[in-house]
Structure 1
Amino acid sequence: MPRTLGVVMDPIRAIKPYKDTTLALLLAAQRHGYALRYFEMGDLWVRDGLALGRGRALTVRDDNQDWFTLGDAATAPLGDLDALLMRKDPPFDMDFVNATYTLELAEAQGCRVVNRPQSLRDCNEKFFISRFPQCCAPTLIASDPITLRAFHAEHGDVIFKPLDGMGGAGIFRVGSDGLNLGAVIEALTAGRHLIMAQRYLPAIVEGDKRILMVDGEPVPYCLARVPMQGETRGNLAAGGSGRPQPLTDRDRWIAAEVGPALKRRGLLFVGLDVIGDYLTEINVTSPTCARELDAAYNLDIGGQLMTAISKLMGDA
């Protein structure tokens, strides 16, 4: 019998197939001989200590008009799957956290979960860069307005952002005039929430580089997401445009600094965000940009990930 690979994701009918990284990974899994099972977060539960899922057989196609077929739903132990991709997009809320508890049980019961559920909880995509200060521009994580204001006074031009956002949502730049500084701090912290402040990096005009890491090693090319005119956010979801390019020596150094920690934590598929010479985020939940890089350089990033998963399962 073929090995089975499950996926937990947002509704597959609503994706944009031409650029969806999860679809690229599923196409690669299918090419590698996996039988696919599809789940949304509401399809997962635990009964008497057993992780269960209501999954449906999934067939995928590289067709922008007709990219999937689902079979009938059937309930089975998640531990019976050989592997499972956790690809649910943020927000990283309690529903997401509770899903990782279920997937951690599935892991203990025999399923290889990518990325490791405990590490999805432990490695907040903003906070995790604090493990690598040698790679980062000046960065503060705080909720106290006095501390945040002092950081702005020190650096003059600062980016403020929430710790749980994605796609550029909730990101503000406050320049040296301090215009709207108080309002930004109040809106993001709500008087109690930790937020991130980073010194503004002028190199953003050249793009926010997404470096994909597979089993601790970088793909040799990245996608520089260049902001729209008048924007400071390069995120494609915020209107940025993608520019594929080779990694620089500094990019490779950052990847080498971060990669061993990713391997230790079972984070097989990760996206590093780099502006100029500095690491700004480490995306562990559902990193994207594989399809753009595959198309630009004739790569098979999904195939690389499947090979890494097979290696962990002792097949390669």
Structure 2
Amino acid sequence: MNILFIADPLDRFQIYKDSTYAMMAEAAARGHTLYACEPGHLAWSGGEVEANVRRFTITGDLADKRRSPWFAAEAASPRLLKDFGAVLMRKDPPFDMEYVTATWLLELAERSGARIFNKPQAIRDHSEKLAIGEFPQFVAPTLVTRDAARLRAFHAEHGDIILKPLDGMGGMGVFRVTADGMNLGSIIEMLSHDGSRSVMAQKFLPEIKNGDKRILLIGGQPVPYVLARIPQGSEVRGNLAAGGLGRAQPLTDRDREIAVTLAPVLFERGLLLVGLDAIGDWLTEVNVTSPTCFREIMDQTGFDVAAMFIDALERAAG
């Protein structure tokens, strides 16, 4: 099968920890042919969506996860997306208008017969922060608003809260405000752009000391291990991008309850791969753009997440 990865530039990959690379390596090992492009290489013309793509191969000693270069690529050439066996949208956020435009183009390609994973409409329909609102039974006290007075009242009620933007990633823009309310007004003004943008407030969960857990759902089934991303020092963010320490561990009973409830619903909507975030017993995010943590779980447990993913992709692509 020919597989196109729409992703960040290949020469920026840190392959020792990159989930997209893990997918690529597993697909190549099975004999699939790999192609890559970036969202900016997509174009609609004459009623069809095409992209300037590069066929590439994985090179070097696969045991060396820090090798560079790690691939050899041919010159780019235009190709219709419908001609690929599968197209994987693996571009990292931010989820800005260019990202949205890419999903519109991919949806046009779908109408011509392209097989896109995750489904473009499903990516747009599931805000990674707000999608938790569909499953309130698993959500700690949370408020989304641009109203400063309501945010202040939420703080007064709960005393210790987290504030964050709806379009952040990797822990960017996340603030904790404790009972003294230090800098609450300034944080609200900054995150809400003086009341012009909505902000998410959540009750602070002390269980964060045990990690912000990434629960992976693949093909409607949970991976049996999570990656608990544990804040270091005085940091309140567990994100690996913010310096968190990743520790793989088995699903708890509550993790599994959340996973088996959400997995079939999200899979039915065209989400082949989802990364749920949970702190303690509470669901905090539903990540659908470019979920990660394959490599850490694989290295620490031996469970082959990439193989599970390519199995699911082969079934879905037919």
**TM-score w.r.t. length of structure 2:** 0.96
1:182 aligned counterpart, secondary structure: helix
Q: 3-state SS of the aligned residue for 1:28? A: helix
Deviation at 1:32, TM superposition (A): 2.4
Q: CA deviation at 1:15?
A: 1.6
1:125 aligned onto 2:128? yes
The one of 196, 208, 211 equivalent to 1:207 is 211
Residue of 133, 143, 155 corresponding to 1:140 = 143
Cα separation, 1, equivalents of 2:223 and 2:215: 7
Match of 1:276 in 2: 280
Supply the distance in 2 between the matched residues of 1:35 and 1:108 (Cα, whole angstroms): 24
Query: Of the candidates 163, 180, 184, which is equivalent to residue 181 of structure 1?
Result: 184
Structure-2 residue corresponding to 1:91: 94
Residue 301 of structure 2 corresponds to residue 297 of structure 1: yes
> 5 Å matches for 1:235-274?
235-274=239-278
Partner of 2:32: 34
Aligned to 2:47: 49
Distance 1:188 1:166 in 2: 14
Pairing 1:231–2:235 present: yes
* Amino acid paired to 1:134: Q
Post-superposition offset of 1:289? 0.7
C-alpha distance in structure 2 between counterparts of 1:44 and 1:200, whole Å: 41
User: How many Å separate the matches in 1 of 2:73 and 2:304?
Assistant: 25
Asked whether 1:164 is paired with 2:197, we answer no
Q: How far is 1:303 from its partner?
A: 1.5
Equivalent pairs counted in the alignment come to: 312
Q: Which amino acid aligns with 1:301?
A: V
Alignment of 1:77 with 2:80, yes or no, is: yes
Whole-Å separation in 1 of the counterparts to 2:266 and 2:307: 19
**Equivalent residue letter for 1:178:** G
Whole-angstrom CA distance in 2 between matches of 1:144 and 1:48: 46
Greater alpha carbon shift after TM alignment, 31-40 vs 285-294: 31-40
- The Cα of 1:102 is off from its aligned counterpart by 1.0
Q: Deviations over 1:21-59 (max 9, x none)?
A: 010011111122211111011111101321010000011
State the partner residue of 1:17: 15
What residue ranges of structure 2 are gaps of 5+ in the alignment?
none
**Cα distance, 1:60 vs structure 2:** 2.1
Contact 1:208 1:226 survives alignment (8 Å): yes
CA contact (8 A) 1:210 1:274 kept: yes
Cα deviation digits, residues 195-214 of structure 1 (max 9, x gap): 11110000000110111110
* Cα contact 1:143–1:192 (8 A) shared by 2: yes
CA distance in 2, matches of 1:178, 1:216: 42
Whether 2:199 is the aligned partner of 1:195: answer: yes
Query: 1:120 Cα shift?
Result: 0.8
8 Å CA contact 1:215, 1:262 repeated in 2: no
- 1:153 is matched by which residue type in structure 2? A
RMSD: 1.0
Secondary structure of 1:220's counterpart equals strand
CA distance in 2: counterparts of 1:142 and 1:264, whole angstroms: 30
The CA deviation string for residues 216-269 of structure 1, in whole angstroms up to 9 with x for no partner, is: 211001111000110100000001111111110000001012112211211111
Secondary structure in 1 matching 2:76: strand
Residue 60 (str. 1) matches residue 58 (str. 2): yes
TM-score (norm: length of structure 1): 0.97
Amino acid at match of 1:16: Q
Report sequence identity in percent.
52
SS at match of 2:72: strand
